[in-house]
Amino acid sequence: MGLQLPHGRPHLVYGGAALKASITSVDVAGKRVLVREDLNVPMSGGHITDDTRVRAAAPTLQHLASRGAKVIVMSHLGRPKDREPELSLKPLAPDLSRRVGRDVLFAEDCVGEPATRAAAALQPGQVLLLENVRYHTEDEANDPGFARDLASLGDLFVNDAFAASHRAHASVVGVASYLPAYAGELMESELGALHTALDNPRRPMIAVVGGAKVSTKVGVLLNLLKKVDALLIGGAMANTFFKARGWATGAGLVEDTALDEARKVEAAGGGKLVLPVDLVCARRMEAGGPLRILPADKVGPQWMALDIGPQAVRDFASRLRGAGTVIWNGPVGVAEIPDFADGTKKIGEAVAASGGYTLVGGGDTIAAIEALGLAGRYSHVSTGGGATLEYLEGKELPGIAILKEA
């Protein structure tokens, strides 16, 4: 994961390129450490419904506080149009406190008098959570004045928000113009996992990519095809490949504007691209209706493909058996409906049982493995959605580019 340099202090590897400095190698005692986390969690009625991201953020905050830092945490939540009370970070403070194992104080704003007063009063080992940075439109605009105001609260900056690092926002990128910027422990583990899977993979290397759209993943598919030994495609995006071949896809979801992109990906595949040979089909995307297993090239009118079929499951599982490295992004069916979750569950089990290094990413994939009881069975589960996809596409993420080099 993180690379151990000769003096024994951990640093991380980024994409086989520059080494980035970790906050674990810096003396933080008595210093104000401004930490960007991604606490963009689902909420209902003022309560967190899934605290995966809070749990992921906690170790960095815990370790900084235990080393005597004055820890100041900033994050966004949702996409507020105004200061919407339901998108306040205040309800997160008790859960964060539980996870970090010490009181978490709260500032009613992320800049201005409430923030500066709260930051000035912090003692070593204390943790302060700032209000939602997106209450200020200047965050997404990467406004230099706003970035300077945020930076004035700290002596050092830590980016631990891998999931937000594809965004050039003031709280992710802008503050690094004013403070030395380091990687946090979650960032380190995310980049270490991506480095292990992509830059120096054990062979054979297999990728499983699902989800609905080819258009949002075409760059990922083309980049992965340069690296993998096989690329297994599931989910509704398979329909677009089928239609691009001239096959009947019935009433299934097809991205008609991406047929040329699908042909381009298949042409680049050179036999590495593997599509399902059979499909679980229904007339409606709902539980309890009649199901048919149909060959992938014979989905008749009024039927829609909603999962990969039993033969496709066997084909995919046999490819995954004995894999050295597996990257899995996206469920292979409509996994939130039990009638169409079998393919995702069985492929998830095959990925876990492959014996290789397994990297799983994407919000829908994480929701599926939690719901299907597969959690805890993979080498690394990424917190990043769009950031993971952009990394898999080979793009440089602005929130990583700004970190100090080791």
Residue 73 phi, psi (nearest 5): -105, 130
C-beta pairs of 290-299 under 8 Å, 24+ apart in sequence: 291/339, 296/238, 296/242, 296/247, 297/242, 297/245, 297/247, 297/248, 298/247, 298/248, 299/242, 299/247, 299/248, 299/249, 299/250, 299/252
Report the alpha-carbon angle 186-187-190, nearest 5.
85
Cα–Cα distance for residue pair 108/102, rounded to 1 Å: 19
The token pair that represents 305 in the structure block: 């493909």
Does the N-terminal peptide bond of residue 204 adopt cis geometry, omega within 30 degrees of 0? Answer: yes
**What is the DSSP pairing of strand 205-209 with strand 230-233?**
parallel
Q: Which residue has the tokens 């939690």?
A: 370
Helices 342-352 and 310-320 pack at an angle, to 10 degrees, of 10
- Catalytic positions, written as ranges: 53, 213, 363, 386
The token pair that represents 127 in the structure block: 């943790």
Strand ranges (DSSP E) for 196-244?
205-209, 230-233
Cα–Cα distance for residue pair 300/378, rounded to 1 Å: 38
Cα–Cα distance for residue pair 59/306, rounded to 1 Å: 39
Query: Which residues, 6 or more positions from 21, have their beta carbon under 8 angstroms from its beta carbon?
Result: 11, 182, 183, 403, 404, 405, 406
Helices 52-66 and 92-100 pack at an angle, to 10 degrees, of 60
Instruction: Sheet containing 3-4: give its strands across.
Output: 3-4, 10-13, 19-20
Cα–Cα distance for residue pair 392/379, rounded to 1 Å: 17
Distances (CA, A) of 11 to 4, 20, 184, 331, 397: 6, 6, 10, 33, 18
Query: Which residues, 6 or more positions from 300, have their beta carbon under 8 angstroms from its beta carbon?
Result: 248, 250, 294
Strand ranges (DSSP E) for 25-68?
32-36, 43-44, 47-48
